[in-house]
Chains A and B, each alone.
Chain A
Amino acid sequence: MPFIPHTEEDVAEMLASIGAKSIDELFDEIPAELKTGKLTRVPPGLSEMEISRLMHERAQQDGFYLSFIGAGAYEHHIPAAVWQITTRGEFYSSYTPYQAEASQGTLQLLYEYQTMMASLTGMDVSNASLYDGASALAEAALMAVRQHKTSRRILIPQTVHPIYRRVARTIVRNQAIEVVEVPYDPATGQVAMDKLDQFAREEFAALVIPQPNFFGVLEQVDALTDWAHDKQSLAIAVVNPTSLAMLKPPGEWGHRGADIAIGEGQPLGIPLSSGGPYFGFMACKQELVRQMPGRIIGRTTDLEGKEGFALTLQAREQHIRRSKATSNICTNQGLMVTAATIYMSLLGPEGLYRVAAQSHANTLSLIEQLEKLPGVKKAFNSPFFHEAVLQLSVPADKVLNKLKAQGVLGGVLLENYYPDLKNTLLVCATETKTAEDLDKYTEMLQEALTGV
Chain B
Amino acid sequence: MLIFEHSRKNRLNYSQAPATRPAKNNIPDNLKRKTVPLLPEVSEMDTVRHYTRLSQKNFSIDTEFYPLGSCTMKYNPRACNSLAMLPQFLSRHPLAPEDTGQGFLACMYELQEILKDVTGMSAVSLTSMAGAQGELIGITMIRAYHEAHGDTGRTEIIIPDAAHGTNPATAVMCGYKVIEIPTNRDGDVDMEALKAAVGPRTAGLMLTNPSTLGVFEKKVAEMSRIVHEAGGLLYYDGANLNAVLGKVKPGDMGFDVIHMNLHKTFSTPHGGGGPGAAPVGVAERLLPYLPIPIVAYEQGTYRWLTEKDRPQTIGRLSAHMGNAGVLLRAYIYVRLLGAGGMLRISEYATLNANYLMAELRKLGFEIAYPNRRASHEFIVTMKEIKDKTGVSAMHLAKRLLDKGFHAPTVYFPLLVPECLLIEPAETESKETLDHFVAAMKEILDEIAAQPDMVKAAPHDMPLRKIDDVKAARELDLVWNPAG
Interface residues in A49-66 (C-beta closer than 8 Å to B): 51-52, 54-65
A91 to B76, CA, bound (A): 12
Asked whether any CB of chain A lies closer than 8 Å to the CB of B482, the reply is: no
Considering the complex, give the chain A residue whose CB is closest to the CB of B407. Answer: A99
Q: Give per-residue flags for A215-249: 1 if the beta carbon is below 8 A from chain B beta carbons, else 0.
A: 00010011000000000000000000000111111
In the assembly, what is the distance between CA of A86 and CA of B364, in Å?
Answer: 42
Is A34 in contact with B39, judged by CB distance below 8 angstroms? no
Name the segment of B192-200, B279-287, B316-324, B382-390 touching the other chain: B316-324
B interface SS class: loop
Cβ distance B480 to chain A, nearest Cβ, rounded Å: 8
Q: Cβ of B365 < 8 Å from any Cβ of A?
A: no
* B 19-43 contacts with A by CB, 8 A: 19-28, 30-42
Chain B 323-366 per-residue mask, 1 if CB under 8 angstroms from chain A, else 0:
11110000010111111111110011011101100110000000
Residue B100 CB within 8 A of the other chain? yes
A213 to chain B, nearest CB (A): 12
Q: Which of B38, B53, B71, B463 contacts A101 (CB 8 A)?
A: B463
Are B471's CB and A310's CB within 8 A?
yes
List CB contacts (< 8 Å) of B195-229 with chain A: 215-216, 218, 220-221
Does B58 contact A85, Cβ atoms closer than 8 Å? no
Q: Which A residues are CB-close (under 8 A) to B16?
A: 77, 79, 346-347, 351
Which range contains the number of A residues in contact with the other chain? 35 or more
Question: Which of the segments A4-12, A194-202, A370-378 contacts the partner chain?
Answer: A4-12
Instruction: Please name the residue on chain B nearest to A358 by beta carbon.
Output: B18
Interface assignment of B4: CB less than 8 Å from any CB of chain A: yes
Complex CA gap A385/B27 in Å reads 7
Q: Is the CB of B320 within 8 A of A73?
A: yes
A30 at the interface (CB under 8 A from B): yes
Decide if B152 is an interface residue (CB 8 Å cutoff): no
Indicate if B57 sits at the interface (CB-CB under 8 A).
yes
A-B pair count, CB < 8 Å, reads: 688
Task: Pick from A5, A13, A40, A90 the residue with the most CB of B within 10 Å.
Answer: A90
- C-alpha gap A451/B209 in the complex (Å): 61
Check: A273 CB closer than 8 A to any chain B CB: yes
Docked CA distance A171–B373 (Å): 39
The CA-CA distance from A184 to B47 in the complex, in Å, is: 44
In the complex the two chains form, what is the Cα distance from A162 to B50 in whole Å?
40
B458 at the interface (CB under 8 A from A): yes
Q: Which residues of B contact A164 (CB under 8 A)?
A: 319
Query: Cβ of B426 and Cβ of A59 under 8 Å apart?
Result: no
Point out the residues of chain B lying under 8 angstroms from A166, CB to CB: 315-316
**Distance of A318 Cα from B398 Cα, bound (Å):** 23
User: Judging by beta carbons under 8 Å apart, are B320 and A275 in contact?
Assistant: yes
| B435 touches A (CB below 8 Å) | no
Q: How close is A341's CB to chain B, nearest CB, in angstroms? A: 8
Query: Hey, which chain A residues are within 8 Å of B79, CB to CB?
Result: 48, 51-52
Contact (Cβ within 8 A) B273 A39 = no
Asked whether, in the complex, the Cβ of B274 is within 8 Å of the Cβ of A332, the reply is yes
- Complex alpha-carbon distance, A252 and B74, angstroms: 46
